[in-house]
Amino acid sequence: MIEIQEIDLDEVKGISNYDKRKICVNNNSCMTCKKQSSCRYQKYMKQAKRTGYHFQICNHNYFLADVLRRKRGLSALFPDYTHAIIDEAHKLKDAANQMYGTSVRQDEINRLLRKALPKHDGSNVKRIREICNEGITYNDLFFKEVIHQIPKEIEDEDTEKYKTIITQRARVFLNRVVVNLEEILRLLPEKDRKLVADIKRNIRQMKIFNCSDIIYWLEEPFSKGQTTLASVPITLSKELGQDLWTNDIFFLLTSGTIAVDRDFNYAKNELGMKQVHKDRIIEISKGTPFNFKENCLLYVAEKMEYPDYDNPKYIASITDKEDIEMDDILKFCEQMALLNQLKNKKLITMIEYEKIKLFIKKKYKIGIYAMQH
């Protein structure tokens, strides 16, 4: 941070994780902001672009924002670099989902349409008013239609992403909003730079929902007027691969959880590395110092189906438990945790530990599987 006072978002109280993830700076707002000259964020951005650093540290999103800006021919966020270390590389795909994704928000579009309503009389005023009001009506109809498509069974789920379908009817409403916004851009008497930039950005994003090569979903569909329709390209991995690995930059990707049984293929697929020649990749996998055999136990109810998310019986076996059975599982976990603590603090011998464990296991009829099995 530029000034002495530092804020670590992780430590800020009173803001939910969901809201923290949504915090961002809309550059269009900065365009007309009166605090630009004293803004810490702006100072930081300027400083980050200067040359002379041996290395710079940023999060995945900022790094990808730089990649995307260079790709679109815009000014870079960093000076040119030759080497990049991506730590926690297993999270890079999640960041790419956000950075390569698109979203349109119901209240944001309505806000723009209201903002475009002429304040004074003049030429085209009547027409612009009609278009704005029509745009708001079509925008609300569009979101009503896509919210209506959420399958009934997932309406109650505690999820952030809701499945929906953009029906033909919804597409008609969406395209009407786009047409209205485009017409407003043509007719606006005074050109408010920020409003124009915001409208253009939203038009661009709305048009993406007409493409067939995206995966889309709804967020906050039950918060009145605040619904967001979001998407990522189906070909995200391929696009990411082209943007990251096809230039002359040396990358070092590190992670504690990126390999599956020392195999990196899953991560390489996700990050679009399949198109990179194998001679250009060096893989190193080191064993963990964590002693799983000593420190991990897996508890499985004896009546449980073999874990398989496509098997309805398995889903039922972990979700349809009677209260009494859940009570047993909770008591079992509590008692095992206590027993493990006693063992770890060497307050009981191994023979005592095994005897009590067997007793608890029989009492609650729950299997115990150590990681080594």
Give residues in contact with ligand SF4 (CB under 6 A): 25, 29-30, 33, 35-36, 39, 41-42
CB of 35 to ligand SF4, least distance (A): 4
The span from the CA of 371 to the CA of 348, in Å, is 22
Task: Give 171-238 as a DSSP string.
Answer: HHHHHHHHHHHHHHHHH-SS--HHHHHHHHHHHHHHHHTT-SSEEEEEESTTSTT--EEEEEETTHHH
Q: Cα dist. 169→80, 138, 173, 175, 216 in Å? A: 47, 11, 7, 10, 17
Strands (DSSP E) along the chain, which ranges? 83-86, 102-105, 214-219, 228-233, 250-253, 297-301, 366-370
Instruction: Give the contacts of 250 (CB within 8 A, at least 6 positions apart).
Output: 82, 83, 84
User: Closest CB to ligand SF4 among 46 and 262?
Assistant: 46
Q: Which two tokens stand for residue 361?
A: 């296991």
Q: What are phi and psi of 348, to 5 degrees?
A: -135, 160
User: Closest CB to ligand SF4 among 41 and 251?
Assistant: 41
The span from the CA of 215 to the CA of 210, in Å, is 11
The span from the CA of 206 to the CA of 171, in Å, is 10
User: Closest CB to ligand SF4 among 26 and 275?
Assistant: 26
User: Closest CB to ligand SF4 among 12 and 85?
Assistant: 12
CB of 37 to ligand SF4, least distance (A): 9
The span from the CA of 165 to the CA of 145, in Å, is 9
CB of 115 to ligand SF4, least distance (A): 16
CB of 24 to ligand SF4, least distance (A): 10
Residue whose entry in the numeric block shows the structure tokens 């096809």: 246
CB of 28 to ligand SF4, least distance (A): 9
User: Closest CB to ligand SF4 among 30 and 185?
Assistant: 30
Instruction: Give the contacts of 192 (CB within 8 A, at least 6 positions apart).
Output: 115
User: Closest CB to ligand SF4 among 45 and 339?
Assistant: 45
CB of 230 to ligand SF4, least distance (A): 23
CB of 164 to ligand SF4, least distance (A): 32
User: Closest CB to ligand SF4 among 25 and 298?
Assistant: 25
